[in-house]
Structure 1
Amino acid sequence: MKGLFKLLFVLLIGGMPIILFGQTKVGGVVVDASGEPIAFANVLFKNSSEGTITNDNGVFYLESDKTYQGIVVSFVGFTTQEIPLQKRVTYDLRVVLEEGEELQEVIVYGGKQSKRNNPAIDILRKIWARKRQNGLNMYNQYAYNKYEKVEFDLNTIDSSMMKSKLFKGMEFIFSQVDTSNITGKTYLPIFINESFSKVYGDNTFSKVKEDLIGNKNSGFENNQYIISFVQDLYSDYNIYDNYLRFFDKSFVSPLSRTGIDTYNYVLNDSAFVDNKWCYNIIYYPRRKNELTFKGDFWVNDSTFAIKKINLQVTRSANINWVKDIYIEQEFDVLNDSVFLLKRDYMMSDFSLSKKEKARGVYGKRTTVFNNYDFNKERPRAFYEEKVDPFNPIIYQQTDVFWAENRLEKLSKDEIGIYKMLDTLKTVPKFKRLYSLGSILASGYIEFPSYKMDYGPIYSTFGMNDAEGLRLRTGGRTYFGQNDPWRLEGYLAYGFKDNKFKYGISGKWMLNRNNRFIISGGNRRDVEQIGVSLTATNDVLGRSYASSAVFTTGTNNKLTNINLTTATVELEPVKNLNFRTGGTYRTLRSALPEVFSLSYLDPESGEVIDETRQFDLTMALEYTPGRKTIGYGVERMDVNDDYARLHVYYTFGIKDILESQFDYKKIQLLYRQPLQLGGVGRLVTTIEAGKTFGDVPLGLLSVIPGNQTYFSIYNTFPNLDFYEFVTDTYSSVHFEHNFNGRFLSRIPLLRKLNWREIVGLRGVWGQLSDSNVALSSPSNIPLVAPSDRIYYEYSLGIGNIFKVFRIDVNFRGNYLEMPDARRVSVTGAFGFHF
């Protein structure tokens, strides 16, 4: 959901010609006699090799700096058409191809190509054999300069948009409108970020270091949501890999070893490219709806290294909110055998609809490389030395610096964006639009004069059996995205129990280099605490189930909790975090007549209704591959594909602040998302834990049930709250999203773009007799899944209307238990690519 909130934010605040024409521009659609579009038809400027291929809807756009008098359109099985061009710019051209076979000298292709005796596939196999012997892999050490430009542009701008009341008072922005040389659409730059880095690498011990030397930003430089979206949008990729990952999806590379089963290949041409004899191979997908590209590449005839390649995602690909993805890479010839990446360009067209005339936002990244230097050995310590990417000097580089280090000149309109956006930010109407987008993205309403944010607004309303209707208000301090300290709090009221609840938390970062942070807080609230195995001490946290409006049964196993924490944390190595601190909590049932947390005091024999406990906690968190932005006390994740390892140790101490129990508890959580090439994404979570010593129900490990109608990962949707209680447990959860791999091959379902999701989860646990006896006043059964592993499995369909998911969950065993739910249906709502 985070990703699309950011996208919607951009769509909201963007909006919006002077059009700069090239020498020849032509666009339109190619159809057959019945009006059906012809995909992958060949369109060339007459008497040239400049051309393109129509997309899934038969649409094409072609542009050249040269002047041409006509185009040639052809497709196998149809008569070739020559279309004269009366003007230098011709849009909305409709080309009708008649059935026939009049190919003349034009090379055409279409339909499924044979895998046997196909020279293009013979060349492809030689590319596979040599791909690890090309480029930087040929040297022990390397270094190079890297310039990167990321830009967001609002596209499909027309007169109706410019005259819209939405932009009244902001008409000056339209002076920056240009035309895309790829799609032919008008666009207006609304965000640009430039960076210059020096990159060092050593292949002998697989180390890479990137020193950021300069960064220049315009547009929404202070908005973390936009910045994190931009960084997540453009992860690095290698065209020689079997799969290219964009937007959490794995696309089959045309250079992949599985490519011959996914693409059709045609040897189209051969010619000198930069004094190197190269073959030109055209490729296009064998089937619709799969995550594939269409395009062509030039490959050298001796090294079989790629010289140029372009990739365009087919319109039918099962991906949401992205209408087009276009990639170009160009390689430089260092000598007879070395081809190095010179320029990498990627453009994505984000839109709420894939219709041709739908408005959207271009996201463009251009990366240029130069000054390659090889075999200059540097010590291992050089690569392990910390680099501070937040050094203020980086963001204050002069115009002279950028003039020297900008490896690709800015266009006139890109230069103008800096001034235009500075002016735009002074317009009151734009400020209102910007604020609305920011609220939707972050969930907070900003009050800059008071350095405060109100929210999160999405937690305003709630409902449960103890509180009835619940209203919540809250806020936080906010001086900027990199605040070294932050205070946050909330106040809530339940209309059934007529009680106020609150939470307050504070954090202060004392050292930015190793992220030495102290924090603490207090919370008094009502919560459903039996929905998570691994312990957390988040003062302001609250489970989904605590305020579920609709449940499969009564949501009455709720707890009044009073939690106080004090914590110290340290990150001595990137993504390795240590935390230690103390917690004091009191637990009492919110509805004791139906759910009791009472226990039998082993010393006095009395029944005690309230659990009071002081704990010392130590935690280790390791998140390799995690990327974040910001350097303040709170950071934002850029990606979500990293592994997570959490180890918790809790040491309960009796008699401190009337604490009642001595015990020890160790818990482990490991989560691993894994992209399995073209078969989708698997998420695996393993949890294990053990409590040493006798403790009451409030301190035991409850197997997380789910009585809501929401699909909540890492819970058991066919278990009620507190159906299983343990002091020793181990569980595993598997969830695999096939991303429509199978449903896309069923003709009647193909256009729906549904995605198959399967899940399997199981848990085993024990509960000692002494712990059962201690909690014997409880009015719920205390049972652990010790006889056999409890398991469930589920079958789901995602991407229904692009936003809904429905799961049918089946209970595998323990069907003899009272009121056991054999089948449940849960769902989720979210925005995913």
Structure 2
Amino acid sequence: MKAFSAFILFTCCLINVHSQSVPVKQDSALIKNDTIKQEQFLKQLGNGYFPTKFVNIDLRYLVKYNQYEGLRTGLGGITTSSFSDKYRINGYTVYGFKDHRFKYSIGGGFRVNKKTQTWINLSYTDDLQETGSSVFLTDKRFFSFFEPRLLNIDLFHKHITKAISLEHQVSPYLLSETQFSTSKIDPTYDYSFVADEKTFETFDISSIKLSLQWNPFNNFKIENDNVIETEIGYPEFTLQLTKSFKDLLDGDFNFFKFDFRTHYEYKFKTGSIFDAVLTSGIATGQTPLTHLYHAYPNNINKETILQRFSVAGINSFETMFFNEFFSDQFTTLQLKHSLQPFKISERFKPQLVLISRFAIGSMQNMDRHQQMSFETLDKGYSEAGFEINKLLFGFGLSFAYRYGAYHLPEIGDNIAFKFTFNVSL
């Protein structure tokens, strides 16, 4: 955290010095150019990069923390267009102080077509991944100085993954990425998977993924033959298909996955915002727990409310305990209504957010998953609550209550009281 604080202070000072370096009597064109540079710098920083001429430093790897690795710190980066506009190199190295292990990734790509932003990428990764998580290849880079759920996650599996992928912009509204990969999977917890009358404690996955991101209501402009997004429109749609192959490059299982997500946001003239996220996934065939679904839980497995006091996530179930539910078919619906901020003063503008979440799911062949105890979501899981954000330096408070079919006997076990953190550049 000291390194993080120093970095923020350095960044603020750098921006401040830069903004004061332009004389008042300068030409308006120079002032405009200076403003553009500041905006570009802040945009890069908001995207998770500290820009330099030849390499953009990746801020995701500086400081993180989770229950398995403890403090995780390292350095990463990607080459810029000044290095080459046809080739790129990216990678990172991190170290976990609790598991005493280095993790790393090295990759690169070359551009096949500039107009359609078609790239072929290669990568080699030796790292951890949260069990039950599902990541869309075409997700835009999401960066946050503070990743709330990560603090509480303890269920990871090691993976060594070799991948080749093809990025292609079908149209300004439709992005695609296709990836073929082979992975050696080693759970860090006691788990075995039964398939074809064999028991696997470690296993190999050979799979191909096709991911599509369709944003039909976005606005764009063409600048120097590049498509630049000028306004985000809603709803947005993301689809991903995954097929694994048994006996292909030592793959152990055949399974198929279908993942879908849609995001809708509506801004009222009053300043309030309604936000809805619908996520669904289906896995069929011989799918190990590592590649199944959780429902974004974010509640620590401790006895009292105060012991569970932590940080609320962005789109997570705050009252659902980690590793409590897994599914091979699931759907979640998360609704938020952010009221117009209360303007108490120019600097103090807290905001009330009303929240409702619902999840439903099921699991076939639960007996395949050995040494793990969990429930399914077939009865439907519900929680509701609120957040009061930006009370002090971006921090706020959240409250959520678990009700319905999975309501627990002890009232305190159904309550999640946490703080929030919201900051934007």
| Aligned residue in 2 for 1:774 | 368
Judge conservation of contact 1:509–1:632 (CA < 8 Å) in 2. Answer: no
Are 1:823 and 2:415 matched, yes or no?
yes
Judge conservation of contact 1:534–1:687 (CA < 8 Å) in 2. Answer: no
Q: Could you tell me how far apart the structure 2 residues matched to 1:630 and 1:556 are?
A: 45
1:753 to 349, 356, 363: 349
1:175 to 1, 22, 25: 25
> What is the TM-score when the length of structure 1 is the normalising length?
0.44
Aligned partner of residue 702 in structure 1, secondary structure: coil
* Structure 1 residues 442 and 728: CA distance shift in structure 2, 3 A: closer
| Aligned residue in 2 for 1:684 | 276
Judge conservation of contact 1:519–1:566 (CA < 8 Å) in 2. Answer: yes
| Aligned residue in 2 for 1:519 | 121
Judge conservation of contact 1:527–1:546 (CA < 8 Å) in 2. Answer: no
Q: Structure 1 unaligned runs (5+)?
A: 16-166, 178-187, 193-217, 229-437
Are 1:585 and 2:183 matched, yes or no?
yes
Residue 637 of structure 1 deviates from its aligned partner by 5.8
Judge conservation of contact 2:195–2:286 (CA < 8 Å) in 1. Answer: no
Judge conservation of contact 2:211–2:241 (CA < 8 Å) in 1. Answer: yes
Residue 639 of structure 1 deviates from its aligned partner by 4.5
Q: Could you tell me how far apart the structure 2 residues matched to 1:536 and 1:791 are?
A: 29
Aligned partner of residue 661 in structure 1, secondary structure: coil
Are 1:191 and 2:6 matched, yes or no?
no
> What is the TM-score when the length of structure 2 is the normalising length?
0.81
Q: How does 1:220-231 map to 2 (within 5 A)?
A: 225=40
| Aligned residue in 2 for 1:494 | 96
Q: For residues 585-605 of structure 1, give each alpha carbon's deviation from its aligned partner in whole angstroms, at most 9, with x where no partner exists.
A: 222222x2xxx332124333x
| Aligned residue in 2 for 1:444 | 50
Judge conservation of contact 1:516–1:570 (CA < 8 Å) in 2. Answer: yes
* Structure 1 residues 815 and 441: CA distance shift in structure 2, 3 A: closer
Judge conservation of contact 1:502–1:523 (CA < 8 Å) in 2. Answer: yes
Judge conservation of contact 2:177–2:211 (CA < 8 Å) in 1. Answer: yes
| Aligned residue in 2 for 1:569 | 167
Larger strand share, 1 or 2? 2
Q: How does 1:281-296 map to 2 (within 5 A)?
A: none
Judge conservation of contact 2:397–2:419 (CA < 8 Å) in 1. Answer: yes
Q: How does 1:78-477 map to 2 (within 5 A)?
A: 173-176=23-26, 191-192=31-32, 218-219=33-34, 225=40, 443-444=49-50, 446=52, 448=53, 451-456=54-59, 459-477=61-79
Judge conservation of contact 1:728–1:766 (CA < 8 Å) in 2. Answer: yes
Judge conservation of contact 2:47–2:143 (CA < 8 Å) in 1. Answer: no
Are 1:620 and 2:212 matched, yes or no?
yes
* Structure 1 residues 805 and 191: CA distance shift in structure 2, 3 A: farther
* Structure 1 residues 781 and 535: CA distance shift in structure 2, 3 A: farther
Judge conservation of contact 1:224–1:636 (CA < 8 Å) in 2. Answer: no
Judge conservation of contact 1:489–1:504 (CA < 8 Å) in 2. Answer: yes
Residue 484 of structure 1 deviates from its aligned partner by 3.5
Q: Could you tell me how far apart the structure 2 residues matched to 1:520 and 1:568 are?
A: 9
| Aligned residue in 2 for 1:668 | 260
Residue 445 of structure 1 deviates from its aligned partner by 5.4
Residue 221 of structure 1 deviates from its aligned partner by 5.3
1:732 to 333, 338, 341: 333
Aligned partner of residue 762 in structure 1, secondary structure: strand
Aligned partner of residue 321 in structure 2, secondary structure: coil
Which amino acid in the other structure matches residue 87 of structure 2? W
Are 1:798 and 2:389 matched, yes or no?
yes
Aligned partner of residue 367 in structure 2, secondary structure: helix
* Structure 1 residues 819 and 506: CA distance shift in structure 2, 3 A: farther
Judge conservation of contact 2:215–2:233 (CA < 8 Å) in 1. Answer: no
| Aligned residue in 1 for 2:321 | 720
Greater gyration radius: 1
* Structure 1 residues 749 and 190: CA distance shift in structure 2, 3 A: closer
Q: For residues 88-141 of structure 1, give each alpha carbon's deviation from its aligned partner in whole angstroms, at most 9, with x where no partner exists.
A: xxxxxxxxxxxxxxxxxxxxxxxxxxxxxxxxxxxxxxxxxxxxxxxxxxxxxx
Are 1:597 and 2:198 matched, yes or no?
no
Residue 499 of structure 1 deviates from its aligned partner by 1.8
Aligned partner of residue 500 in structure 1, secondary structure: strand
Are 1:611 and 2:203 matched, yes or no?
yes
Judge conservation of contact 1:798–1:806 (CA < 8 Å) in 2. Answer: yes
1:789 to 349, 364, 380: 380
* Structure 1 residues 654 and 546: CA distance shift in structure 2, 3 A: farther
Residue 489 of structure 1 deviates from its aligned partner by 0.5
2:154 to 539, 556, 566: 556
Are 1:809 and 2:400 matched, yes or no?
yes
Which amino acid in the other structure matches residue 218 of structure 2? R
* Structure 1 residues 580 and 445: CA distance shift in structure 2, 3 A: closer
Q: How many residues align?
A: 403
Residue 534 of structure 1 deviates from its aligned partner by 5.4
Which amino acid in the other structure matches residue 219 of structure 1? D
Q: Could you tell me how far apart the structure 1 residues matched to 2:117 and 2:221 are?
A: 14
* Structure 1 residues 690 and 453: CA distance shift in structure 2, 3 A: closer
Q: Could you tell me how far apart the structure 2 residues matched to 1:821 and 1:467 are?
A: 27
Judge conservation of contact 2:138–2:176 (CA < 8 Å) in 1. Answer: no
Q: Could you tell me how far apart the structure 1 residues matched to 2:115 and 2:83 are?
A: 17
Q: Could you tell me how far apart the structure 2 residues matched to 1:817 and 1:789 are?
A: 17
| Aligned residue in 1 for 2:290 | 698
| Aligned residue in 2 for 1:648 | 240
Q: Could you tell me how far apart the structure 2 residues matched to 1:503 and 1:706 are?
A: 27
Residue 759 of structure 1 deviates from its aligned partner by 0.7
Judge conservation of contact 2:297–2:322 (CA < 8 Å) in 1. Answer: yes
Judge conservation of contact 1:704–1:722 (CA < 8 Å) in 2. Answer: no
Judge conservation of contact 1:485–1:633 (CA < 8 Å) in 2. Answer: no
* Structure 1 residues 452 and 641: CA distance shift in structure 2, 3 A: same
Judge conservation of contact 1:644–1:670 (CA < 8 Å) in 2. Answer: yes
Aligned partner of residue 658 in structure 1, secondary structure: coil
* Structure 1 residues 797 and 439: CA distance shift in structure 2, 3 A: closer
Q: Structure 2 unaligned runs (5+)?
A: 1-9, 301-309
* Structure 1 residues 586 and 618: CA distance shift in structure 2, 3 A: same
Judge conservation of contact 2:261–2:280 (CA < 8 Å) in 1. Answer: yes
The Cα RMSD (Å) is 3.8
Q: For residues 397-440 of structure 1, give each alpha carbon's deviation from its aligned partner in whole angstroms, at most 9, with x where no partner exists.
A: xxxxxxxxxxxxxxxxxxxxxxxxxxxxxxxxxxxxxxxxx879
Q: For residues 188-236 of structure 1, give each alpha carbon's deviation from its aligned partner in whole angstroms, at most 9, with x where no partner exists.
A: 88632xxxxxxxxxxxxxxxxxxxxxxxxx33656772596xxxxxxxx
| Aligned residue in 1 for 2:18 | 13
Aligned partner of residue 723 in structure 1, secondary structure: coil
